[in-house]
């Protein structure tokens, strides 16, 4: 496992985040099936949660608070599903997992935003991996800006 | 949201953990579809990751390290899927989510243990919620003991 072979290490510096903390970069997911869905990605290459050090955990806590608050304020999210899986990395012959979190805000009510209706028909149950929504770039930008405007 | 109405708060003191840390209790899941599947549950009632304080996060880090190491040593787990979802709490009229993590160890190879064969045919992909395995109490005890024997 080597950061030199890690796609995420190469990609990460090129991506413009919603916001970042000292150790984590918060990026909007292109899939907005769950409005405000994003990634929280460790800036350095570490391959499991066991490798996260104290400073990175405390900084993660800061990121969690800031992001959850902004998503509540921006869109009225009721709950957040957090997961750190890293399965896909193991599809390669030589796996180079890089710690990142998937964040899916969950909604008890539908949300109208940018002329679109975002709904969460399975609120109260496990996220549906087939609930995907590819939106135009200007919609992605508007979602990102709305979250940024609520970072406080 | 009130701990007085929280089922987990009532149940937790009665459950015998694999191990515990100052703030977290690590419990074997009765479903062993993923060998070593367990819960990591906050001892006090808090309803979101935003409420977790610094001491609880640092103690969580200790629990993660200890658990991942033991599951690797015990069964050869290659990867761990961590998720904090709390969806089911929202099926009640008055939701009382209580922070807990689902841990699914993932395996590139099948594992023979207690005469059973545990496999992970979708290793490298998202966990399969239908991959469930209800095992006998003595098997649960043996899995728990094997993890405990590897806590080091």
Q: What are the pLDDT digits (tens) for B49-74?
A: 999 999 999 999 999 999 999 999 99
Instruction: Choose among B41, B52, B119: nearest CA to B86.
Output: B41
CATH number at residue A94: 3.30.428.10
B48 vs A54, A68, A85: nearest CB: A68
pLDDT value, residue A40:
98
pLDDT value, residue A94:
86
Residues B56 and B25 sit within 8 Å (Cβ to Cβ): no
Instruction: Choose among A121, A145, A150, A122: nearest CA to A18.
Output: A145
C-alpha to C-alpha distance for B65 and B24, rounded to whole angstroms: 13
The answer to whether B124 contacts A48, with C-beta atoms less than 8 Å apart, is no
Report which secondary-structure segment, H or E, holds B8: helix B7-11
The answer to whether B50 contacts A69, with C-beta atoms less than 8 Å apart, is yes
A50 vs B65, B106, B123: nearest CB: B65
Query: In degrees rounded to 5, what are phi and psi of residue B97?
Result: -60, 145
Q: What are the pLDDT digits (tens) for B78-130?
A: 999 999 999 999 998 888 999 999 999 999 999 999 999 999 999 999 999 99
- In our burial notation (b when 16+ CB lie closer than 10 A, e otherwise), range A90-124 reads beeeebbbbbbbbbbbbbeeebebeeeebebeebb
- Give me the number of domains chain B comprises: 1
Residues A147 and A61 sit within 8 Å (Cβ to Cβ): no
Pinpoint the alpha helices (H) of chain A. 7-11, 54-75, 137-149
pLDDT value, residue A39:
98
User: Domain limits at B49?
Assistant: 3-149
pLDDT value, residue B134:
95
β pairing state of B19-20 and A116-118: unpaired
Kindly list the residues from chain A whose CB atom is less than 8 angstroms away from the CB atom of residue B127. Answer: 85, 87
Nearest chain A alpha carbon to B91: A124
Confidence of residue A93 (pLDDT cuts 50, 70, 90): confident
Q: What are the pLDDT digits (tens) for A33-57?
A: 999 999 999 999 999 999 999 999 9
Tokens encoding B88:
């089911």
Instruction: Choose among A38, A36, A40: nearest CA to A116.
Output: A36
Mean pLDDT (chain A) is 96
The answer to whether B124 contacts A88, with C-beta atoms less than 8 Å apart, is yes
Kindly list the residues from chain B whose CB atom is less than 8 angstroms away from the CB atom of residue A125. Answer: 87-88, 91
Per 3-state DSSP, what percentage of chain A is helix, strand, and coil (rounded to 5)? Answer: 35, 20, 45
Lowest-pLDDT choice from A87-96, B24-33, B71-80, B132-141: A87-96
Instruction: Choose among B103, B128, B117, B101: nearest CA to B46.
Output: B101
Tokens encoding A92:
């390669």
pLDDT value, residue B79:
97
The answer to whether A125 contacts B84, with C-beta atoms less than 8 Å apart, is no
Confidence check: pLDDT of A5 > 80: yes
Q: What are the pLDDT digits (tens) for B1-27?
A: 466 789 999 999 999 999 999 999 999
pTM of the model: 0.97
pLDDT value, residue A3:
65
C-alpha to C-alpha distance for B142 and B148, rounded to whole angstroms: 10
Tokens encoding B113:
């243990």
C-alpha to C-alpha distance for B100 and A11, rounded to whole angstroms: 32
Confidence of residue B152 (pLDDT cuts 50, 70, 90): confident
Q: Which of A1, A23, A40, A48 to mutate to test the interface with B (most CBs of B within 10 A)?
A: A48
Residues A87 and A95 sit within 8 Å (Cβ to Cβ): no
Whole-number Cα distances in Å, B3 to B106, B111, B116: 33, 39, 39
């Amino acid at each position: 496992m080597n950061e030199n072979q890690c796609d995420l290490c190469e990609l990460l510096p090129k991506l413009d985040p919603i916001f970042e903390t000292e150790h984590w970069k918060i990026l909007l997911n292109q899939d907005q099936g769950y409005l405000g869905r994003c990634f929280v990605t460790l800036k350095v290459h570490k391959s499991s949660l066991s490798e996260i050090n104290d400073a990175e955990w405390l900084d993660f806590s800061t990121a969690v608070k800031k992001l959850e608050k902004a998503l509540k304020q921006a869109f009225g999210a009721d709950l957040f599903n957090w997961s750190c899986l890293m399965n896909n990395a193991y599809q390669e012959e030589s796996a180079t997992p890089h710690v990142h979190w998937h964040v899916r805000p969950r909604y008890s009510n539908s949300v109208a935003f940018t002329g679109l209706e975002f709904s969460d028909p399975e609120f109260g149950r496990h996220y549906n991996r087939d609930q995907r929504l590819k939106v135009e770039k200007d919609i992605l930008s508007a979602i990102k800006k709305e979250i940024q405007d609520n970072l406080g």
